[in-house]
Amino acid sequence: MNDDQHILPTIEVTRRTVIETGTTALLLGALPHVSVAADAAQGGPCPISAELRVNGHPHKLVLDPRTTLLDALREHLGFTGTKKGCDHGQCGACTVLVEGRRINSCLTLAVMHDGQSVTTIEGLASGEDLHPMQAAFIEYDGFQCGYCTSGQICSAVGMLTESRGGAPSYVTADLTRPAVELSDDEIRERMSGNICRCAAYPNIVAAIKEAAGKMT
C-alpha cells in the first residue's frame, strides 16, 4: 500500500468555521427551550376577574393577569386620556391616582387593584367645571404638544396631597412642619418623575403654584 494512502486529509480550521460551528451548536441547544416557551405562550395563564372603580363608576373585567393597569384603562375601558409613553415607568405620562395616591399605571398589574378606586384625567373635572389643576395648566400654558399633560396633572394633584400631609422630599429643609411649603424647588423635585419633552417646566411649576392656592 502506498504510504500516501495512510495520510489523513487535513481540515483547515479558520475563524469562520469556529463561529459557524459554535452558532449551530447554540441554536440546536436552544431549540427545546424555544419550543417549551412557545407552548406556554399558546396556552397562557387563566383569565382573572377584577373590578375597578374608575372615576366613581365600577367596571367588572376579566383579564389576563399580566395586563397592566395602563392597558386595562386604555384598551379595555377606553380611558385613553392616560397616555402610554415609555411603558417602563420613566416618563410619568401614564400617572393616575389609585386610592388618592399617584402611581405609574404601566408598572402595576390591573388585578392588583381589584376593588380599588382609580382616578384618571377624565375623572378630575366636576361636570363642565374643570379641576383647579386643569384650569391652571390652561391659564399658564403648562403644555405644548400635550402628550405628557394628563400624567403631569394627575401627578400634581397627588403631589399636593402628599405635601399637605407632611411627606418630605429630598429638598425639604424643615421636617417638623405638618405641611410642606411648596417652593419652586419643592415642586420641581416632587414632579421630577414626570418628563416634558417640550420643556414647559417653568409654566408647569407656575400652574401648580396657582392651583395649590385654590385647592383646599
What pLDDT score does 34 carry?
Answer: 43
- Please state, in angstroms and rounded to a whole number, the distance separating the CA atoms of residues 118 and 20: 54
What pLDDT score does 44 carry?
Answer: 81
Q: Give 139-144 contacts, CB < 8 A, sequence gap 24+.
A: 139/207, 139/210, 140/203, 140/204, 140/206, 140/207, 140/210, 141/200, 141/203, 142/200, 142/203, 142/204, 142/206, 142/207, 143/196, 143/198, 143/200, 143/203, 143/204, 144/196, 144/198, 144/200
Length of the chain in residues, anyone? 216
CB 34 within 8 A of CB 17: no
Class of domain 126-216: mainly alpha
Domain 45-123 identical in fold to domain 126-216: no
Class of domain 45-123: alpha beta
Distances (CA, A) of 10 to 5, 13, 15, 20: 13, 9, 16, 19
* Separation of CA 109 from chain center: 11
What pLDDT score does 15 carry?
Answer: 60
What pLDDT score does 214 carry?
Answer: 86
CA-based end-to-end distance of the chain: 106
Mean pLDDT, consecutive 10-residue stretches, the chain (216 aa), reads 51 59 55 45 84 98 98 98 97 98 98 98 96 97 96 98 95 91 96 97 97 86
Domain map (residue ranges) of the chain: 45-123, 126-216
